[in-house]
Amino acid sequence: MDNNPYYGAERPARMTVSSAPGKVYLFGEHAVVYGEPAIPCAIERRATVGVEPREDGHVRVEANDLTLDGFAVEYRGSTSERPDVDVSSELVDAAMGYIDAAVTQARAAADAPKSGFDISIQSDIPLGAGLGSSAAVVVAIIDAATRALDSPIDKREVADRAYHAEFEVQEGQASRADTFCSTMGGAVRVEGEDCRTIETPRLPIVVGFDGGAGDTGALVSGVRSLKSEYGFAADTVESIGDIVRHGETLLADADPTGAPPTELLAELGELMNFNHGLLSALGVSSRSLDTMVWAAREAEAHGAKLTGAGGGGCIVALDPTPETRTALRFTPGCEDAFRAELSMEGVCVEEP
């Protein structure tokens, strides 16, 4: 630390902006926590974070998130000692946990433990809805804050530090899938520590959102206890792994350049339907998620499943036609339905 001229002191102020994408799980959420593979895909819904170092060591956060009315929080030391809190809600508290963990990682990466920041967050990814909002925010903060401190780190380190931030906030119940996908962009395959990008054709992804959120920690704990109580629940988790392995061979054999052929979409869709059934058996679906999944299937989507932790939030369907989106928009309990383009761009620097 002695060779760091900024240790314990101010650094030159530099406003830096980074953005990172959200994601959907094509296959494998929950099972990935137990070492099975998963395939998430980054989508063109992003969290954009501006970071400016400040000299007093305070952290001020202003957020304008899709699912929050906007809030501002300022703190020094830990987030539990906030001197200036505009609003307090469970969602804000949850968001602050991730933001604080990301700041801690950025300070450690830059070897600047006392640095303060003004952080502004703008996100069009709904919070806690299975689209990787927290991962995108954590990844973008770590990237922007390390750059703002003139200590940029490479993407692998951003992903690794973001994973550790999530791991800490989620009390050890996190895989590397969300954070690696948000950092790298495109489709990725994650199995334990083994994280790699994979090629996929441009999949016609449609997302349905019920306006709600799930409690990732509680849902992961629920699966963990089912799995330890029943051999057939453990088998279900392994079967999800089999689905992912099957799905990845289909993707590996596909031509990544053109539009995917109908037969491929039909096969992937069937696997997604199966994957949803197994997630449902593990208790992580909900009435509104099931309703949206069935609305998508009835609109002749190739397949549909919940995405992310479940309990509420989003489903993902494959349909190159407008039918699924239209059907979802008329489905009671579906608040929003949109086409989600695959985002090939992971975390990146934006114009301030």
Single residue of 37, 53, 130, 212 touching ligand PMV by CB under 6 A? 130
26 makes contact with ligand PMV (CB under 6 A): no
- Taking the least distance from each CB to ligand PMV, the nearer of 60 and 305 is 305
Sign of CA dihedral 277, 182, 213, 30: positive
123 makes contact with ligand PMV (CB under 6 A): no
333 makes contact with ligand PMV (CB under 6 A): no
> Residues in contact with ligand PMV, total (CB under 6 A)?
14
Q: State the minimum distance, in angstroms, from the CB of residue 177 to ligand PMV.
A: 5
Strand 303-306, strand 16-27: pairing:
unpaired
Among this protein's residues, is 118 annotated catalytic?
no
177 makes contact with ligand PMV (CB under 6 A): yes
312 makes contact with ligand PMV (CB under 6 A): no
Q: State the minimum distance, in angstroms, from the CB of residue 121 to ligand PMV.
A: 17
Torsion angle (degrees, nearest 10) of CA 156, 159, 165, 170: -130
309 makes contact with ligand PMV (CB under 6 A): yes
216 makes contact with ligand PMV (CB under 6 A): yes
- Taking the least distance from each CB to ligand PMV, the nearer of 4 and 67 is 67
Single residue of 174, 244, 254, 334 touching ligand PMV by CB under 6 A? 174
Piece in contact with ligand PMV (CB under 6 A), picked from 63-71, 172-180, 243-251, 338-346: 172-180
Which residue among 65, 143, 178, 319 is the active-site one?
A: 178
Q: State the minimum distance, in angstroms, from the CB of residue 87 to ligand PMV.
A: 23
237 makes contact with ligand PMV (CB under 6 A): no
Q: Three-state secondary structure along the chain?
A: CCCCCCCCCCCCCCCEEEEEEEEEEEECCCHHHHCCCEEEEEEEEEEEEEEEEECCCCEEEEEEECCCCCEEEEECCCHHHCCEECCCCHHHHHHHHHHHHHHHHHHHHCCCCCCEEEEEEEECCCCCCCCCHHHHHHHHHHHHHHHHCCCCCCHHHHHHHHHHHHHHHCCCCCCCHHHHHHHHCCEEEEECCEEEEECCCCCCEEEEECCCCCCHHHHHHHHHHHHHHCHHHHHHHHHHHHHHHHHHHHHHHCCCCCCCCHHHHHHHHHHHHHHHHHHHHCCCCCHHHHHHHHHHHHCCCCEEEECCCCCCCEEEEECCCCHHHHHHHCCCCCCEEEECCECCCCCEEECC
169 makes contact with ligand PMV (CB under 6 A): no
Q: State the minimum distance, in angstroms, from the CB of residue 206 to ligand PMV.
A: 17
220 makes contact with ligand PMV (CB under 6 A): yes
132 makes contact with ligand PMV (CB under 6 A): yes
293 makes contact with ligand PMV (CB under 6 A): no
Q: Give 322's Cβ-side CA count (13 Å radius).
A: 3
| CB neighbourhood size of 338 (10 A) | 16
33 makes contact with ligand PMV (CB under 6 A): yes
Q: State the minimum distance, in angstroms, from the CB of residue 174 to ligand PMV.
A: 4
30 makes contact with ligand PMV (CB under 6 A): yes
227 makes contact with ligand PMV (CB under 6 A): no
Q: State the minimum distance, in angstroms, from the CB of residue 25 to ligand PMV.
A: 7
Of the candidates 120, 150, 272, 158, the residue with the CA atom closest to the CA atom of residue 206 = 272
Q: State the minimum distance, in angstroms, from the CB of residue 96 to ligand PMV.
A: 16
As annotated, the active-site residues are 178
* Residues forming the site for ligand PMV (CB under 6 A): 29-30, 32-33, 130, 132, 174-175, 177-178, 216, 220, 308-309
